[in-house]
Amino acid sequence: MGKFNRLGNELYTGHKSIDFVGKRAFWYAVSGAIVLVALLVVVLRGLNFGVEFTGGVQYQLNGLESSQVTQGTADDLREAVADTGIENAADPQVNTSGGAGMLIVVEELTEEESARVIEAIRSVVDVTDEQISPSEIGASWGQEVAQRAITGVVVFLVLVMLFIGFYFREWKMSIAALAALVHDIVITIGVYSLSGFPVTPAAVTGLLAILGFSLYDTVVVFDKVRENTAAMKQTRQTYAQAANLAVNQTLVRSINTGIVALIPIGAILYVSAVQLGASSLKDLALSQFVGMAAGVFSSVWVAPRILVHLKSNESEVVLAERRAKARAKAMADPYASVPVFTEAAPGSDVGVDYGDLEIGDEDEDPDHDDQGTPVSRGPARGSGAAAAYGKGRIAPQAKGPVRDSGAAGRQQPSRQPRSRRGKS
């Protein structure tokens, strides 16, 4: 635990960093592949809608002894009805109803299939015809629930965009948060389709609940992004660097929140699916478990990356990127900006034009022209201004008489008394 805390502190201070917004193409491909697989599962397998949406038959058992109204009896009834071999009764829902009743729900059945189900019930509990009350469940109620659920999701998403837009004053954050929510919904529906669990009103309720959890985590990350990017010029960071630091700073909080939320939901999922077999609980737990896990992933990997991508074309962000590249280049080669002097130093042969004289030609004299007149080449190397060459400075041209100076090691202008100045 101590190492984890130290890691969180190093991530928060920036001493260690995980690149969450880099490698844009690679992580877009990974997220896109996950969403595509989830969509393919939904298309190929479809969703197993419960009797609340498709209609079915409900058997109400009344007048049972309290010793019979137990979870063991419910499990025996579920197995007996499933063993009838009837396709629409292969996954019955069996629950207790008060202290003296049981409730069995299956899909739509014919009269013959209904009679076989009643015989299976009687093989487990001793009930009379008066104690069994079969009734049909219409699909109209389930359709109404589905329509209201869709309406609730649409209203929720609109309110989410308005809230983030007003809170952050940034419509691009709203788009990124909405994309993360869609990502979580698609993955949850895909896993639900793959599991074969029936879609019930409890599952729809769980789906609405995960939207709030995913939004909460994304808003926390975006709030830190806004704080870090408020003064990019002072921190000398690019928008991507500041956003990535924000994700690192909130990473430990996101992981801790996700673990705390997933542990109880996972426990409910295990107990309801493995031990109790209660569909209403396992449907709710599965949608919440998958949705919360996907919400943690999207708030860290998806939403910040989409936000940085949307902001990459803004002028302030582009200028910050250019400044960062210039600083990186200067740090890589600190001498790249030092000016290069191409003029010849006094007393050197650099830049001296010797005409047609070729190196190694001993017949020509570079100190005389063709008529034998001496050519002035400046002071000889090692005296005067040339002596200063290579010592860190170059002496200017003398404006008056000069003479050798033992202290300076080169020629220095001679100073005449005031009475002799201007006199020859």
Kindly report, residue by residue over 364-375, the tens digit of the pLDDT: 555 555 555 555
SS3 state of residue 357? coil
Among 172-176, 192-196, 371-375, the range scoring the smallest mean pLDDT is 371-375
β-strand pairing of 48-49 with 198-199: parallel
Residue 328 has pLDDT above 60, yes or no: yes
Question: What is the number of other CB atoms lying within 10 angstroms of the CB of residue 206?
Answer: 23
Query: Where does the pLDDT of residue 334 fall: very low under 50, low under 70, confident under 90, or very high at 90 and above?
Result: low
In order of 76, 345, 348, 359, the CA distances from 379 in angstroms are: 116, 11, 9, 22
Among 4-13, 31-40, 352-361, the range scoring the smallest mean pLDDT is 352-361
Name the residue with higher pLDDT: 359 or 346: 346
Residue 160 phi/psi, 5-degree rounding, is -60, -45
The Cα–Cα gap between 188 and 100 comes to 37
Question: What percent of the chain has a predicted confidence (pLDDT) above 90?
Answer: 4
Residues of the chain with CATH 1.20.1640.10: 19-49+141-327
| Average pLDDT rounded to a whole number, residues 238-249 | 87
**Residue 190 buriedness (CB in 10 A; 0-12 / 13-18 / 19+):** buried
CATH 3.30.470.30 for domain 56-137: no
Going by C-beta distance under 8 Å and a sequence separation of 6 or more, which residues neighbour residue 53? 139, 142, 143, 145, 146, 199, 200
Class in CATH terms, 19-49+141-327: mainly alpha
**What integer pLDDT is reported at residue 40 of this predicted model?**
94
Alpha-helical runs (H) found in 229-365: 232-235, 239-270, 279-297, 303-311, 315-332
pLDDT mean across residues, the chain:
76
**What integer pLDDT is reported at residue 360 of this predicted model?**
44
The widest CA-to-CA distance across the chain, in whole angstroms, is: 148
Residue 166 has pLDDT above 90, yes or no: no
**What integer pLDDT is reported at residue 385 of this predicted model?**
47
The Cα–Cα gap between 228 and 234 comes to 11
Kindly report, residue by residue over 377-391, the tens digit of the pLDDT: 544 444 444 444 445
**What integer pLDDT is reported at residue 339 of this predicted model?**
58
| Average pLDDT rounded to a whole number, residues 315-334 | 77
Q: Show the CA angle centred on residue 35, arms to residues 33 and 36, nearest 5°.
A: 60
| Average pLDDT rounded to a whole number, residues 299-304 | 88
**What integer pLDDT is reported at residue 141 of this predicted model?**
66
The answer to whether the beta carbons of residues 117 and 91 sit under 8 Å apart is: no
Residues of the chain with CATH 3.30.70.3400: 56-137
The Cα–Cα gap between 53 and 92 comes to 15
